[in-house]
Amino acid sequence: MDPFSQVIALLKPQAVFWYLVEAHDDWTIRFLPSTVVVFGQMIEGAGRVERDDGAGLDMAAGDFLLMPAPPPWTMTGGAGGPPVDYKALIDDPGLLVTTRPNPTVTCFIAGAFAFAPANADLVASLMLPVAHVRGTDPLLGRLGALLTAVGEEAVGDRPGRSLVLDRLLEVLLIEALRHRSDTVPGSDRGLLAGLADTKVGKALRIMHEDAKRPWTVSTLANAVGMSRSAFAARFTDIIGMPPIDYLANWRITLAKEALVSSNLPMTEIAEIAGYQSVSAFSTGFKRATGLSPKFYAQSFAT
């Protein structure tokens, strides 16, 4: 399994909720800050997104938006109007719908993705604060087909609509994450950018394939055909941390998943994390997470 697939498998993404919103003419919707990854897809019409941190963008029909843990934000259509709380709109879907003839109609899906709590921090390695996929991008390919399918399913009334949309949205998230590495400004850093780099990508695959092996910067550099210093600088520049720090973080990630989702003995989990003894693993794990392995596992027990 390649590194990106491994990360997605650990994240276990799912669309926890979504709503189809319709608004007419001039309107403004206010969204509260969130700790999850929110998404939106414009089906019809257009709107302006403004975040309280100053970031903003225009959404046109066919556009898709991802924002991990956004601050408070608004979406505005036309000339805007008195802000309506998003939760109030969920309770009363007709709140921004007028009975006047021939209104300007805006229709979009808004919702949120949830991830396995043990490794939800991995989201930061995949996403920028705002990821905007334009429906008019000629390079969309399969992502464009998915966006079209989601839009058609959202406004239809066919049997199994909710189930199909849930699955489409999960696949759409993965395709959107793939797509952003080539199209979103600033995305020349992070895991996806590293995987796209010939040398760094090879090093990432090597580490992920055999995380238990006692890798050093020198052995990794030799494996990808670079000098030690050049490799370390290139890896750090793209990934945002030195190779051995990345490896240590990945091992802890695997250990967290094993602690929460398996019944493996502590000796095996310590080995997964690259430690020769349980005591050394416990010390390293607590330094990385703030909790001992035992208490970490207990904190996620149901």
Partners of 67 in the beta sheet? 38
Average predicted confidence (pLDDT) for the chain: 87
The predicted pLDDT at position 280 comes to: 92
53-72 pLDDT tens trace: 998 999 999 898 888 889 99
- What CATH architecture is 3-183? Sandwich (2.60)
Q: What is the spatial distance between Cα 242 and Cα 272, in angstroms, rounded to a whole number?
A: 20
The predicted pLDDT at position 181 comes to: 45
The predicted pLDDT at position 184 comes to: 53
pLDDT of 1 higher than 50: yes
DSSP labels, 43-58:
EESEEEEEETTS-EEE
Domain boundaries, the chain: 3-183, 197-299
pLDDT of 251 higher than 70: yes
- pLDDT band of residue 186 (cuts 50, 70, 90) is low
Q: In which element (H, E) is residue 259 found?
A: helix 243-261
Say what the pTM is.
0.74
Structure tokens at 225: 């055909």
Could you tell me which CATH class the domain 197-299 is placed in? Answer: mainly alpha
Q: What is the spatial distance between Cα 222 and Cα 256, in angstroms, rounded to a whole number?
A: 30
Radius of gyration of the chain (CA): 22
Of 35-44, 122-131, 270-279, least confident by mean pLDDT is 122-131
CA–CA distances in Å: residue 62 to residues 42, 78, 133, 213, 226: 5, 18, 9, 46, 43
138-154 pLDDT tens trace: 666 677 787 788 878 87
Same fold, 3-183 and 197-299: no
Confirm if 29 and 42 have CB atoms less than 8 A apart: no
Question: Which one-letter amino acid corresponds to residue 14?
Answer: Q
